[in-house]
Amino acid sequence: MKIVYCIPSLYNSGGMERVLSNKANYLADIRGSEVVIITTEQQHRKPFFHFSEKIIFYDLSINYTAIQKYSVLKRFYWELLYKKKHKKKLSCLLKKLHADIVISMFAGEEYFLYRINDGSKKVLEIHFSKYFREQRNRKGIWKGIDWFKSHVDEYIVRQYAAFVVLTNEDKSYWGDWPNIHVIPNGYTKMENGELSNERKKQIVAVGRLVEQKGYDRLIAAWNLIALQLPDWKLQIYGEGELYDELLEMVESYKLLDSVEINAPVRDIHLVYQSSAILVMSSRYEGLSMVLIEAMNYGLPVIAFSSPCGPKDIISDGIDGFLVPDGDIHLLAEKILLLAQNKKLRIQMGKSALIKAQVFSFDKIMKEWEKLFFSLCSVSL
C-alpha cells in the first residue's frame, strides 16, 4: 500500500511532526508500506525528528510563511495565488505517484485535496479541536475570518472519505457524520525507557513558545510559589516567537534562578526521566503528546482543563490534576501540593503509567491500518 502524507514542514519540534515521524516510520519499517511525505515549507532543512531511509520526501516550495506578515487584504490576495500554485503542483505530483491513500494533516491543502482526481482515497486528520481558530482570540477582522473559516471547515471535512479526530469530545463538536473516526495519538517509549527517577527537583513543561501553550500563565503561577520551593526549578523546553517576551516576564518576576527556557531537545525522554512533575498550561490542544509521553515515564501531570485533550487523558486526582481553565492560583496550589508530597507524586506517577497504556502505539496503529484497509476494500 502506498500512503502519502501532506504537512507544511518537518523541521519544527512540534507534536504533529513527532506523531508523523512515529507513524511514518512504523508504516515503512514495520508494515512495509510505501510512504511518501509532501511538504510545502521544508526548503532543504533537516527534519527535527528521525525518519526512516525508506520514506520518500518531496517539497513543493510554496513558502506560505513569506506572506504571514502581510496586511489582511494583501495576504488574502497572495494566499489565493499561493493556493492555486499549491493545488497545481500537488495535483501533478499525486497523479505521478498513484497512491492508495493521501492524508492531509489539516494544514493548508484540505481546501482542495479532495477535488484532486488521482485515484486515491483522501483522508483528513486534525491535531487540534474544532474551534482552534476561534480559540486564538484574535481581534478585529481576524476574529471574523476565524469564525468564517470554522464554518467552512464543517463543509470541507464532509468531503473526505474519512475525517479523523483525536478525542470523543472533539467528535461531539463536529457531529455524528458517517465519515468521522476517533483515533488518538499513540506513543512508543525509547529503548532507554526507564521511568522517572526524580533525580532532580524539577518541574518540566514542553512545547512551542507560542500563545497557545500558555507559558505566561505557567510563569505567573510559578511566581506565586517559587519562594516556597527554593530547591525546585521550572524547566521549559521549546522555541518560538514569544521567547523574548517570556524571558522578560521571568526577569520581571525575578525568577532567573528558578526558571530556565531551553531549546527543544530530541532526547526529551531523558528530561522526563530526571524530572518529578510535568505541567501543561495550554489554552487549547488536540490530544497532547506531551502529556502522554510524560505519563509513559511515570510522571504525574497537571494541566488546565482546556477544550479537548486534557480531559481525555487525565483522571483528576488519580494520575494528575485538572485545573479549571485559566485558574492560575489553583494551578500554583496543585504544583505546590505535588512538589511537597513525594508519596503522592509516586502514587500518581504509577497511575499515570497505567493510564498511558491506553495510548499504546501498536494499538493506535492497528486502528489506522484498519481504517486504511477499509477505505481500500482490503481485508486485514
Task: Give 347-376 pLDDT, tens digit per residue.
Answer: 999 999 999 888 888 899 999 999 999 999
Task: DSSP letter for 227, please.
Answer: G
pLDDT interval class at 318 (50, 70, 90) = very high
pLDDT of residue 258: 97
Q: Read off the CATH number of the domain in which 267 is found.
A: 3.40.50.2000
Query: Are 23 and 96 found together in one domain?
Result: yes
Q: Percent of the chain, pLDDT > 90?
A: 70
In a domain, 7, yes or no: yes
In a domain, 193, yes or no: no
Q: From residue 160, give the alpha-carbon distance in Å to each of 38, 103, 154, 359.
A: 19, 10, 11, 25
The alpha helices in 110-193, defined as continuous H runs, are 141-157, 168-174
Query: Are 250 and 219 found together in one domain?
Result: yes
In a domain, 380, yes or no: no
Q: Is the pLDDT of residue 285 over 90?
A: no
Distance of CA 11 to the CA centre of its chain: 14
Distance between CA atoms of residues 41 and 191, nearest Å = 32
Q: Minimum mean pLDDT among 1-5, 323-327, 376-380: which range?
A: 376-380
Query: Are 134 and 86 found together in one domain?
Result: yes
Q: Side by side, which strands form the sheet with 180-182?
A: 56-59, 34-39, 2-6, 101-104, 121-125, 162-165, 180-182
When divided into structural domains, the chain yields a total of 2
Q: Is 309 helix (H, G, I), strand (E, B) or coil?
A: coil
In a domain, 182, yes or no: yes
C-alpha cell at 274: 530526571
Query: Are 208 and 340 found together in one domain?
Result: yes
Query: Are 52 and 178 found together in one domain?
Result: yes
Q: What residues make up the domain containing 177? A: 2-186+360-375
Query: Are 15 and 131 found together in one domain?
Result: yes
Query: Are 99 and 217 found together in one domain?
Result: no
Query: Are 208 and 137 found together in one domain?
Result: no
Task: Give 96-106 pLDDT, tens digit per residue.
Answer: 999 999 999 98
Query: Are 366 and 269 found together in one domain?
Result: no
On the CB side of 152, CA atoms within 13 Å amount to: 12
In a domain, 196, yes or no: no
Distance between CA atoms of residues 332 and 220, nearest Å = 9
Query: Are 249 and 117 found together in one domain?
Result: no
Q: Which amino acid is at 293?
A: E
Distance between CA atoms of residues 210 and 214, nearest Å = 7
In a domain, 195, yes or no: no
pLDDT of residue 380: 46
**Angle CA(35)–CA(40)–CA(45) in degrees, nearest 5?**
85
Query: Are 164 and 295 found together in one domain?
Result: no
Q: What is the pTM of this model?
A: 0.81
- In terms of DSSP bridges, do strands 162-165 and 121-125 run parallel, antiparallel, or are they unpaired? parallel
Q: How many Å is the maximal CA-CA distance in the chain? A: 63
Residues sharing a CB contact under 8 Å with residue 27, sequence separation 6 or more, in sequence order: 3, 33, 35, 365
In a domain, 192, yes or no: no
Query: Are 347 and 210 found together in one domain?
Result: yes
In a domain, 194, yes or no: no
Cβ count near 246 (within 10 Å): 20
In degrees rounded to 5, what are phi and psi of residue 278? -115, 135
**Angle CA(374)–CA(286)–CA(87) in degrees, nearest 5?**
65
